[in-house]
Chains A and B, each alone.
Chain A
Amino acid sequence: MISREEVQNLATLARLQLSDAEIKNLQKDMSSILDYIGQLASVQFDKSLTPPIPALRNVLRADEPRPADDALVGKEEAVRAAFPNREGDYNVVRKIIQKDE
């Protein structure tokens, strides 16, 4: 059974706050799911196999402005409208650098 500490550490990594009851349930659920997916551990796979085409290819676009009918052109105001704490064109966020660094 996955330990309480391990679940708590994962929650910290995932920026989730879990109640005691949740931690207990997750220990149970995760253990059973991890047992199931753990089937993979004992199987040998040919590491030389590559997935089928399309093979990795260069899909970088030219460094040009997007065409005017591009879905993302002109949407800056809509993006700003979604800010939880907006001031003019800025998104007000918490200060995270506390000292002179």
Chain B
Amino acid sequence: MKLNQLTIAEASKKLQAGEITAVDLARACLDEIKKRDQDIHAYIEVFDDVEDQARAADALRQAQGKNAHPLLGIPLAIKDNILIEGRHASAASKILENYVASYDATVIKKLKGAGTVFIGRVNMDEFATGSTTESSCYGATKNPVDEARVPGGSSGGSAAAVAAHMCLGALGTDTGGSIREPAAFCGIVGLKPTYGAVSRSGLVAMGSSLDQAGPLTRSVEDAEIIFDAIRGQDPLDATTIADNVYPKPTPKKKIGVPCTLLQQGVEVDVMQKFEASLQQFKTKGFEIVDVEIPSAALALAIYYVIMPAELSSNLARYDGVRYGLALKGKDLFEDYAKSRGAGFGDEVRRRIMLGTYVLSAGYYDAYYGKAIAARAALAGEFAQALEKVDVIATPTTPTPATKIGEKTDPLSMYLLDIFTVSANITGNPALSVPMGFVAREGKQLPVGLQLTSAHGDEAALFSIGKEVEK
């Protein structure tokens, strides 16, 4: 087996045993990138000092011995909206094309402390506004499983890099499904932590009440290793929480399924895979319970009010005054309008306009006011359901990966996230884990199973997720 095909857990053991070095691992990933990334285009930039980082990790292992962190020397890819000091971070946009990060994101600082090796920055939808990575200003990324198809988005580069063994794991961000959906499309694992579990300091903000950074990996165990490394209360992010904020539920060995929600809209063979997974749970002693989440049918509508509103506010900072693309017009308004016009792509502009609309006087109560009330209702329904079960299970997406160029109508692209957005709206943690393949035009395409648990209960996701893997 090639070194870049090891899981993080396996590689970590071999590193600790002295069987391989971090340089060996890094080189294996770099070789794979040379072979495949011309076609896949997961990486926007492969860092030029990867082997230096790896050598430093090997030296650190000499010093630390048994105290070495499991991620010491492990090569990860980092999504282009996570700041690494001194390196470019553009959120796949033109407006930040030449921006050099002035500080480390907290998640990066923690990974540096562990001795992780950063292979490079990976592609994404521009400012995370998409579910296919097609809106990147650097070109689309292809799904390694079927290069005619999208890897999902917005963390499409992260997912593709992991699935194609061009790194051992990756960081992504998830605002409406942007870790879980690409993980499902590429046949890997993706975790969106509890809101507040992982610091957002140093992430290019999209929806501040929705965003979470998280791991994309080839195994649930690997996702757990990365989550443990990046989690934690952070003085630089006032929305982060201490470990003891949420009570730890006792396992009930019950899995909740919102049957009403799944009656329509999911492709037949995706539902078959889902039902087969439920059968597997039964043979392992789990009880399947029908749960009612009436507001879940409105989740996508809620999301497409709150997210554009928060996005339009967050992107107001890109005005060409302090950093980024700065074009000059005849007056201040034109400076702004030209910089933002040239610097933002179509989908970004569309969502800024939507956000501006729902927040403007006269419409605020009808849209945003309603969405906030709906949000509280949805959160309450999830909490009620999770009193009876350990996790709520659905397919991660209603379909397998779509073809590149297929989703031209914005709303049809938004519908790919129909099952993932709830967890961002409510703050619950959610995991996507592969549940098999469906056939499309002679190709076997991966599909994902999504598990959502109570706030703070990532343990249930990892434990039950590992059952799915067995």
Interface of A is mostly: loop
Q: Is the CB of A51 within 8 A of B360?
A: no
Pair count A-B, CB < 8 A: 162
Chain B nearest CB from A99 CB (Å) reads 15
CA distance A51 to B381 in the complex (A): 11
> Which of B24-32, B167-175, B297-305 contacts its partner?
B297-305
Knowing A16-B352, A83-B323 touch, does A71 contact B302 (C-beta < 8 A)?
Answer: no
Q: Is the CB of B102 within 8 A of A75?
A: yes
Q: Is the CB of A72 within 8 A of B236?
A: yes
Specify which chain B residues have a CB less than 8 angstroms from the CB of A53 in the assembled complex. Answer: 245-246, 455
Knowing A61-B235, A71-B236 touch, does A94 contact B335 (C-beta < 8 A)?
Answer: yes
Q: Is the CB of A71 within 8 A of B356?
A: no
Specify which chain A residues have a CB less than 8 angstroms from the CB of B86 in the assembled complex. Answer: 78
Specify which chain A residues have a CB less than 8 angstroms from the CB of B332 in the assembled complex. Answer: 94, 96
Partner of B376, one of A30, A50, A70, A81: A50
B421-439 residues at the A interface, CB under 8 angstroms: 426-427
Question: Is A40's beta carbon under 8 Å from chain B?
Answer: yes
Chain A nearest CB from B242 CB (Å) reads 9
B341-379 residues at the A interface, CB under 8 angstroms: 341, 344, 346, 349-350, 352-354, 356-358, 360, 366-367, 370-371, 373-377, 379
> Which of B130-138, B217-225, B266-274, B314-322 contacts its partner?
B314-322
Q: Is the CB of A40 within 8 A of B109?
A: no
Counting contact residues on chain A (CB < 8 A from B), the size range is 35 or more
CA distance A47 to B238 in the complex (A): 26
Knowing A14-B356, A45-B370, A52-B427 touch, does A40 contact B322 (C-beta < 8 A)?
Answer: no
Knowing A37-B304, A40-B367 touch, does A75 contact B455 (C-beta < 8 A)?
Answer: no
Chain B nearest CB from A32 CB (Å) reads 6
Question: Is A84's beta carbon under 8 Å from chain B?
Answer: yes
Specify which chain B residues have a CB less than 8 angstroms from the CB of A96 in the assembled complex. Answer: 332
Knowing A16-B340, A16-B349, A49-B373 touch, does A37 contact B356 (C-beta < 8 A)?
Answer: no
Q: Is the CB of A71 within 8 A of B103?
A: yes
Q: Is the CB of B106 within 8 A of A71?
A: yes
Interface of B is mostly: helix
Specify which chain B residues have a CB less than 8 angstroms from the CB of A52 in the assembled complex. Answer: 379-380, 383, 426-427, 455
Partner of A15, one of B235, B319, B370: B319
Question: Is B201's beta carbon under 8 Å from chain A?
Answer: yes
Q: Is the CB of B320 within 8 A of A84?
A: yes
Question: Is B202's beta carbon under 8 Å from chain A?
Answer: yes
Q: Is the CB of B357 within 8 A of A30?
A: yes
Q: Is the CB of B353 within 8 A of A7?
A: yes
Q: Is the CB of B109 within 8 A of A91?
A: no
Q: Is the CB of A43 within 8 A of B298?
A: yes
0 or 1 for each of A29-56: is its CB under 8 Å from B? (1 = yes): 1101110111111010111011111100
Q: Is the CB of A59 within 8 A of B322?
A: no
Partner of A26, one of B301, B353, B366: B353
Specify which chain A residues have a CB less than 8 angstroms from the CB of B319 in the assembled complex. Answer: 15
Question: Is A93's beta carbon under 8 Å from chain B?
Answer: yes
| Chain A residues at the B interface, C-beta cutoff of 8 Å | 2, 7, 10-11, 13-18, 22, 26, 29-30, 32-34, 36-41, 43, 45-47, 49-54, 59, 61, 70-72, 75, 78-79, 81-85, 91, 93-94, 96
Top 5 A-B pairs, shortest CB-CB distance: A78-B102, A84-B326, A17-B337, A45-B373, A15-B336
Q: A2-B357, A16-B344 are in contact. List 16 more A-B contacts (CB 8 A).
A: A7-B353, A14-B353, A15-B333, A15-B340, A16-B352, A17-B334, A26-B353, A32-B411, A33-B354, A37-B304, A41-B366, A41-B367, A54-B241, A71-B236, A79-B102, A81-B102
